[in-house]
Each structure stands twice: as C-alpha cells, then as structure tokens.
Structure 1
C-alpha cells in the first residue's frame, strides 16, 4: 500500500482529562471522542484562520495535523489557552510523520478524511515506520477535485475566514455550541449571509501558479491555489462570477465549476448571488 509523506504537515497529540472540553471550547468544530476525523480551525479573535487540519480521536488522545509553517504558533497558542487544564500538548515534529493514503493502512494512527468521499486517509506514525513512504501528489489531486482549499498550498495563515474555504459546509464549524475563539465574527457572517469569497474549481490552466489572479472580463475576482495537472482551487468572489465563460488565468482561458458539496452558486446574470 502506498502512503504519501506530507512533509508540509506537523502532527500533534493532545490528551488528558480536560483535553476534549478545552479543545471543544477553542477550536471550530464539535470535538468528540468518537473516532471521526473532522476539519478544524484555530481562529484569531477577529475570525481569521490561524491553522487548519483534521482532528480525530484514537488511543485515548486527540490527534491533529497543521501546516508546518504555523506549527510553532499553534503550539504556543494552545499552551496559552491550556492555563491550568489537566492536559498534555505534544508537538510531534521530531518523532512522527504525517502521511496520506487512498486506502486505510494497517499501521499508524489512521483517520478517514471526513470532509467527503474519495479523500482518503490521514496517517500519523513514528518516523521509523515512515521510511517507505513516498513523495507524491495524489492527495493534492483528490482534494483539488473535491474543491477543498488547504492552508499552505492554497492560502496563507490570517488570509481568510472559515467561510472562504467552505468549512461551514463541510462540518468544520459548529454553529450550535458555545463560544470558541473567533466565534462572534464567524457566527455573524453565517447569520447575515455575508460570505462572498468561496472555493471554485479552476481547470484547463495552461500557465499559472499559486496566488495568480483569476480574471473575469479583465477584472480579478480571486486567486488560485497550487496547480496540479492544470487544475487548482481558487478562493473567489462568487458574486462577481455569472457563468464563468470569460474566465482566464495569465491571459489564457480556463473553466470554472463549483464543488459538488457547495450550497452556494455563482451570481445570476446581471445581479448578485444568493448565499444560503
């Protein structure tokens, strides 16, 4: 079985009698001890994304992964929020590797990516067990095809809100639980329906790279993420896109599509879109 090594991700193990309660109060999704891997984010008080990844329960602990570029900041903030809570926060950068597989491996801490079908499994294992893991882009292909943007390949920390990457549609935000960091801003966006930046799948990219502008009629409506086999996820102003017929990247025409999970739509011709 092939496992791709995610050198750009760092694993965390968080355990202890107060861990579930504190994580539920700090992170965006419901945090439960049920083995389901949920998309999570740690937000700034202003609602901006500081870190994102999957969180899943196994062997008496919560296992998380975050982009390597924000791992130290995530670690620092989680220790700050811990205060006197009875819990241990372990950053596993020196001892464990994060990987991805299309099928469930028999070893390691394995969680199915709960954001949708075909997204495979996240794997966390000791470094000694990851020697046979390979470099690859199958994980990137799967998530781009699903229209899921990822911090690092597609956008930077503090450069957007959970709604911008569709976390509100994919179980990454709990709108029923009590306060978490940044909750007030995210809740206001949800109830006022003000989210206009959304993931869009861009295909047929002949020449383009991360952060290049997605153009409609000569005007920028967003930026694309990392390009794999001519396809990328853009975070774009859907209220500025009617049918996508005049879309381009670096002067070359591209095709636009919404993710299958999307409950939003492009703007009606001559008007703005409605976001539910």
Structure 2
C-alpha cells in the first residue's frame, strides 16, 4: 500500500460553536457537504475572486472534540491562520496553526486506514488520487512507504494542480486552477468572499486560461515557471512536472489556434502533447480537430 508523509503540508484548526458558519461565509466549498468521513477541497479568495490559499477541509467528529482542520501548504499555514483571524470579529471561533503537532499523509492503490489513525477521507478532488489523512506528527512515519515525490508524480500524471506549485497565490482564479472541475467550488451555496466574480465566470463561461496536463517528448519535464509557446506566441507557463508528465497554465484559445495551424506546443523548449483526462468537462484544445 503506497503512502507518503506530505512534509510540505501543514494544518490549521478552526473550532468553536460558530466555526461552521464562520467558514461557510468565507470559503468556496459548501460546509454542509463536509462530514467526518468526507473532506472537501476549498479556497479563500480575494474580493476580486483570486485564490489566496487552497486547502482541504476535514471535520473532526464530536467524540474527539469536533472542529475543522484545513490541510494547506505548510509555509502558508501561519498566513492562513492570521488571515482567518482578521475575519473573526465577534464570531465564537478559535483559529490555530497546528502544523507542529499534526501531519498530512496520502495513500493510493489500497483502502484507507481505519479512522483510529486520525482524520481519514477519500481524496475529495478525484477518487483515483486515493485517500488522505491528518494524523499526529509522531505517527506520520508509520505511513511512509513511498516518497512525497511519488505522490506528486501521481498527482501530476492525473492532471491535478496544487496552489503554490502549479499557480501563484493571488494570481489565479478558481476556474483557472480547475477548482470547478475538482469539487472545490459550490455554485449553489450562500455568499463568500469573491463569490460574485467566480459566479460570473461560471455563468458566462469566461475562463479562457486553464491548467491542463501534458506529456513531454523524450520523458523529461521542464521546470516550473518557464514559458509555454507555439511558434512565436506565448501560451502561458509551466507548472510542476515529473517523469515525463507536467501541468501547464495556458490560454485555451491560443493553444487551439496553434494546434489548428499545425504548430507544435513547447514547454521550456520541449515539445509537449496536451492530454485531456476523463474528469475534465470543458472544451479542450484540439478536440474539434481530432473529431473531424
């Protein structure tokens, strides 16, 4: 059973009698859809609708104290806790960075461990990613049968982006980071920070830039942050890559035009082929030409 301690992930705890309503008024996911058996991808946005932090929200059952635990990139955990504190006002909530006490582990190709191990859930983004858990930091070694690099190679191969790796915080909209495809935005819930912009993009279909998975020619992957081009046009930039696969943040219309013109798309100078996973529902560059 491959499983890995994701040492780059931290945990922020939000507890108190107002915790649920407090978070529901801030984050993109619907807190009513989160249970102790089912986490949810979510994000805290700027008022302009761009992602400040992305995370997975776990709920602890009442018998172990309750509360919500946000699985977030570790270097941003203090900033997330501080930002949530700004919104607290008179709400009866406590916000704590628990990254020194708790750890995040992920596993795949086997059933998840028993609930006694910690907060355990199927990965809320895509079932093929496997399971995810928050455990006591001292227990994380028990789950280390694979490396974090193995986990990220699998994530990348499946086409799943992560904030701070594949897009910059404060620079991308949820649609661009595929959160609408990965159950990270609930369009029927009440108001939250940045909702108007996100709802407008959804209803008008104005997300022209998206992260898409690709296969690199020759089995190598370009480093993150370099240009993706076709001919003399810049389509976007690379995200992370591993083992010949990678994620690209590109303009879909420019990529479609390039493919229609018979141009090769290159990432960091290396030829790539765009790969559409089954779970992506938006029109993909090259689809019409491939069907013709």
Q: Deviations over 1:84-139 (max 9, x none)?
A: 21222221111111111114123121121121121112221111111344433232
Q: Are 1:82 and 2:80 counterparts?
A: no
Q: Show the counterpart of 2:103.
A: 97
Q: Are 1:204 and 2:206 counterparts?
A: no
Please state whether the residue corresponding to 1:51 is helix, strand or coil: strand
CA RMSD of aligned residues (A): 2.1
2:130 aligns with one of 116, 120, 143: 120
Q: Show the counterpart of 1:194.
A: 206
- Give ranges in structure 1 of 5+ residues lacking alignment: 272-276
How many residues get paired? 271
Query: 2: distance between equivalents of 1:252 and 1:145?
Result: 17
Q: Deviations over 1:61-90 (max 9, x none)?
A: 222111123212211111111222122222
Task: Indicate how the Cα distance of structure 1 residues 250 and 110 shifts in structure 2: closer, same or farther if over 3 A, else same.
Answer: same
Quote the offset at 1:200 in angstroms.
1.0
Task: Indicate how the Cα distance of structure 1 residues 269 and 202 shifts in structure 2: closer, same or farther if over 3 A, else same.
Answer: closer
Query: 2: distance between equivalents of 1:128 and 1:94?
Result: 10
TM-score, normalising length: structure 2? 0.86
- Give ranges in structure 2 of 5+ residues lacking alignment: none
Report 1:19-38 matches (<5 A): 19-32=19-32, 33-34=34-35, 35-38=37-40
Report 1:231-242 matches (<5 A): 231-242=245-256
Contact 1:27–1:43 (Cα < 8 Å) also in 2: yes
Quote the offset at 1:163 in angstroms.
0.5
Q: Show the counterpart of 2:46.
A: 44
Report 1:103-252 matches (<5 A): 103=110, 104-106=112-114, 107-134=117-144, 135-204=147-216, 206-242=220-256, 243=259, 246-252=264-270
Contact 1:13–1:64 (Cα < 8 Å) also in 2: yes
1:63 aligns with one of 64, 69, 87: 69
Query: 1: distance between equivalents of 2:232 and 2:207?
Result: 23
Query: 2: distance between equivalents of 1:78 and 1:58?
Result: 19
Contact 2:221–2:242 (Cα < 8 Å) also in 1: no
Contact 1:213–1:220 (Cα < 8 Å) also in 2: yes
TM-score, normalising length: structure 1? 0.90
Q: Indicate the structure with greater helix content.
A: 2
Q: Deviations over 1:194-223 (max 9, x none)?
A: 101112111125351011112122322111
Contact 1:199–1:258 (Cα < 8 Å) also in 2: no
Query: 2: distance between equivalents of 1:258 and 1:73?
Result: 34
Q: Are 1:8 and 2:8 counterparts?
A: yes
Please state whether the residue corresponding to 2:243 is helix, strand or coil: coil
